Amino acid sequence: MSEAGSGAPGIRGGLENGRRGSRYPTLSTRNAERMGHPATGVLYLHATMSTESFSVSLIAQGKHRFFTLSMPSDVLAETCFVSTRHDDPDGGFQRQLDEQRAREIAKYIDEGLGTIPGSIILSAQPEANLSYDGRKKTIRFEKIRRAFLIIDGQHRVYGFSLAKASLRVPVVIYEGLGRVAESRLFIDINTKQRSVPNELLLDIKSLAEYESDSEALMREVFDLFNTDGASPLQGLLSPSDRIKGKISRVTFNAALKPLIASFTGKEPEEIYTALRGFVAAFISGAERLGAHGTIVRPIVFRAAMQLFPQVAQRVKDKGVAYSTNSFAEALAPMFSRLKVKSMTQPPLSQNVLFGEMSEALRTSFTL
């Protein structure tokens, strides 16, 4: 998750987005006004650099050490940032911010309804210049907007920045973590303590160096489909979220995994080229059938991919290249027999839909 010095994007509202000249405010309006900034528009922090000092407890667990302390919520809002997979595909690993959830936290704080005892977990960045005084049992750091990367608690921190009230918040600060260690800690927290979307965890496994060989292969094929200008699925894929109208990485991997054995020894680019022609032909055939846009339905996509070996074998038997035209010719008789309802109102199981497609393909085949 980390990217301390490279301009990884920040959280909305209370935290700063460092990469793009930010559409996100640096501070909450309340804090901005306190520091003499206008209360409207995009805000940037240009205050004189200062340091903060807090009493801490130093805890060692395994090879890591971290500090536990309490910190004012406005200091958190002014010194923390996050890096999401959506805004930073290379180095981010946080989920997208749910602004409504953060606003509910702010309301909860301002109405004095209760307490939020869970610790915010941070990773000190080199820019913070964090130092520990063992004799006084204190830490000191630069009060800058990119001092700490949020590993867990982005919605709470954003909620704190929106709240009118200020409160002290329990905080855990790790020091000396690299990008791999930060992303691994994020995975550990969200698998051993509470769940985040499988799409996001799968998307950042490469960052944490947790991928198996097959997962790495599927990731590269997915990324080619997602980024190549000639991809028939460009704009229809979602790497780290589950979004209606798009194929998630989890759905894509579930569809591709059974085919891996068929591609033994092939490079990701070769696999992508073969599948690209097939998917393009399948989408074209579905559109002629009147089933526009149905490829993004998980059942349809997985059933289509399940059909690939049969169709690819027919193309291979003809001795022609795995091109869109070759796949389209092989699929055309199937689409002439398949009912549009099978695509627009697919059954609940991809195996059932695959059976219908396979039967239509089989009965249309002649030597």
Q: Running DSSP on this structure, what letter comes out for residue 207? A: T
85 versus 176: the higher-pLDDT residue is 176
What is the pLDDT confidence band of residue 193, given thresholds at 50, 70 and 90?
low
pTM for the model stands at 0.50
Domain boundaries, the chain: 29-203, 213-363
Q: Which of 51-60, 104-113, 221-230 has the least mean pLDDT?
A: 104-113
In Å, the largest CA–CA distance within the chain is: 86
- The H or E element containing residue 177 is none
CA distances to 76, 125, 185, 312 from 80, rounded to whole Å, are: 6, 10, 17, 51
pLDDT of 239 above 90: no
pLDDT in tens, 76-126: 988 988 865 454 444 444 456 778 878 888 888 888 766 777 888 899 999
What are all long-range contacts of 45-50, with beta carbons under 8 Å and residues at least 24 apart? 45/16, 45/78, 45/145, 49/142, 49/143, 49/144, 50/142, 50/143
CA distances to 218, 229, 246 from 258, rounded to whole Å, are: 11, 26, 21
Instruction: Judge contact between 182 and 149, C-beta under 8 A.
Output: yes
**Which among 157, 148, 183, 185 has a CA at the least distance from the CA of 64?**
185
- The H or E element containing residue 354 is helix 350-363
d(CA 280, CA 288): 13
pLDDT of 23 above 60: no
Angle at which helices 268-289 and 324-337 cross, to 10° = 40
pLDDT of 6 above 60: no
